[in-house]
Amino acid sequence: MLLVVSIVLAACGGGNGDENAGGSEGQTYNWKFVTEEVDGQVQYEYAEEFAKRMKEKSDGAVNIEVYEFGGLGSETDQVEQLQNGAVEMAVMSPGFTGNMVKEGQIFALHFLFPDSVEKTQQILNDSEALNKDLRGKYEEHSISPLSYWTEGAMQWTSSKEISEPADFQNFKMRTQTSPLILESYKAYGADPTPMSWSELYTALDRGTVEGQENPIFFIGDASFYEVQDYMTISNHNNYVAMTTVNTDWYEGLNDEMKTMVDETVSEMQEWVFEEQKSQNEKWLEEIKNDDENPTEIVELTEEQREMFKEKAMPVRDFYRSDVSTVDGKILDKLQEEIKAAGE
C-alpha cells in the first residue's frame, strides 16, 4: 500500500512542492494537504477552506491539493507521509500518534477539559503547555502542530445501553490506536480494540466490536448510528484535531509564505469552531428524527457521570508515571491553565 501511495504522490509532484524556488516574482507553490475525513466532514471542509484562503491571499500562487481520507492509506500511513515530506500539511488526530509521541496522549484523558466546548476551544487556542511544550515533543518527530481544534464533544454509541461503568464490563469497544485511549476504556472494565475508522461500520454491523466514541457529526455522517442501537450523551472528552505541517518544510518557507500560513491557521480557528458546531447540531436532529434507523439517546445523570469520572481519574496517574517522558509536566501545566481559565 505504501509503495502505491509513494508512486501516486511522486506522480502528483513530490519534492518540496515549490516551483521556480528562489523567491522571484511569479513563483508558484504546490502543496498537498491530507485529512482523515471525507468530503463534507469537518476536517475535509477545513482543508478546502484553508486552500481557498491561501489561494486568494497569494493571488493564485499557492495551490493546495486536498486529499480525502482513504486515497493515501490509513491514518497512520498519513502520519508517515507528513513526517517524510511526501505531503506538506495534514489534519491529524493525536489518537493515531500515541505510539510515537507519548505526551500527545494527554488528549486521551477523560473529563480533563471543561464540559463547555467553547471553553475547551479557548484553552486549545491559548495553552502554552500545548502550543509550545507539546508542539516541541511533536517536532522531535518532524511534525509541527500549528493549531489544536475541537471537532466537538465525544459520545458513545453501542449495541446495548451504556449508562454506568458496569455496562462497559467486557464490552468490545473500538478505539483509535494510541495506547492510553485503550487504558481509558480498560479503566471502565471494557475490552478495547484499536482500528481504523475505515473498517468501523462493518465491524459494528457484524458485532466484531459493540461500540465506539466520536463527535455526533461523525457518528451521523459515517452512518455508525445506523448499525448501533444507543447513543449515550457522555461528553466524556473532546475530539481534538491538529493542523500539522512537516517541520523542515515549514521552517524552510520564506517569511511571506510562513506569515500567510500562520495567519490563515489562526483565522481558521473561529471558522472551524462554527463548522463543527453546525455539523454536530444538524446531525443530532437527523439522528433523532431518523425513524428508519431508530437510536435511543441516553442522557447521563450527574451521578452517573461522577461514576465514570471516578474510574477515569487513576488514568491520569498512569499517564504521569508510565506514559509521560517528562513526569507529567505538560499535564500539570495544562491543568493549571484550565484552572486559571476558571474551570
Q: Looking at beta carbons only, is 46 or 249 nearer to ligand 6CS?
A: 46
First to last CA, the chain: 45
Q: Which residues pair with 244 in a beta bridge?
A: 90, 145
Q: Looking at beta carbons only, is 176 or 246 nearer to ligand 6CS?
A: 176
CB of 178 to ligand 6CS, least distance (A): 11
Amino acid at site 71: G
The grid coordinates of residue 180 equal 492510553
CB of 26 to ligand 6CS, least distance (A): 38
In this structure, what are the phi and psi dihedrals at residue 168, rounded to the nearest 5 degrees? Answer: -85, -5
Q: Looking at beta carbons only, is 23 or 70 nearer to ligand 6CS?
A: 70
CA distance 318 to 312: 10
Positive/negative CA dihedral, 106, 108, 109, 113: positive
CB of 225 to ligand 6CS, least distance (A): 14
Q: Looking at beta carbons only, is 124 or 253 nearer to ligand 6CS?
A: 124
Binding site for ligand 6CS (CB under 6 A): 36-37, 75, 93, 151, 176, 197, 214-215, 218, 239
CB of 231 to ligand 6CS, least distance (A): 15
Amino acid at site 172: K
CB of 196 to ligand 6CS, least distance (A): 7
CB of 123 to ligand 6CS, least distance (A): 19
Q: Looking at beta carbons only, is 129 or 219 nearer to ligand 6CS?
A: 219
CB of 219 to ligand 6CS, least distance (A): 9
Q: Looking at beta carbons only, is 176 or 235 nearer to ligand 6CS?
A: 176
Q: Looking at beta carbons only, is 165 or 215 nearer to ligand 6CS?
A: 215
Q: Looking at beta carbons only, is 175 or 324 nearer to ligand 6CS?
A: 175
Task: Give a three-class secondary structure readout of the chain.
Answer: CHHHHHHHHHHCCCCCCEECCCCCCCCEEEEEEECCCCCCCHHHHHHHHHHHHHHHHCCCCEEEEEECCECCECHHHHHHHHHCCCCCEEEECHHHCCCCCHHHHHHHCCCCCCCCHHHHHHHHHHCHHHHHHHHHHHHCCCEEEEEEEEEEEEEEEECCCCCCHHHHCCCEEEECCCHHHHHHHHCCCCEEEECCHHHHHHHHHHCCCCEEEEEHHHHHHCCHHHHCCEEEECCCCEEEEEEEEEHHHHHCCCHHHHHHHHHHHHHHHHHHHHHHHHHHHHHHHHHHHCCCCCCEEEECCHHHHHHHHHHHHHHHHHHHHHHCCCCCHHHHHHHHHHHHCCC
CB of 218 to ligand 6CS, least distance (A): 4
CB of 239 to ligand 6CS, least distance (A): 5
Q: Looking at beta carbons only, is 37 or 210 nearer to ligand 6CS?
A: 37
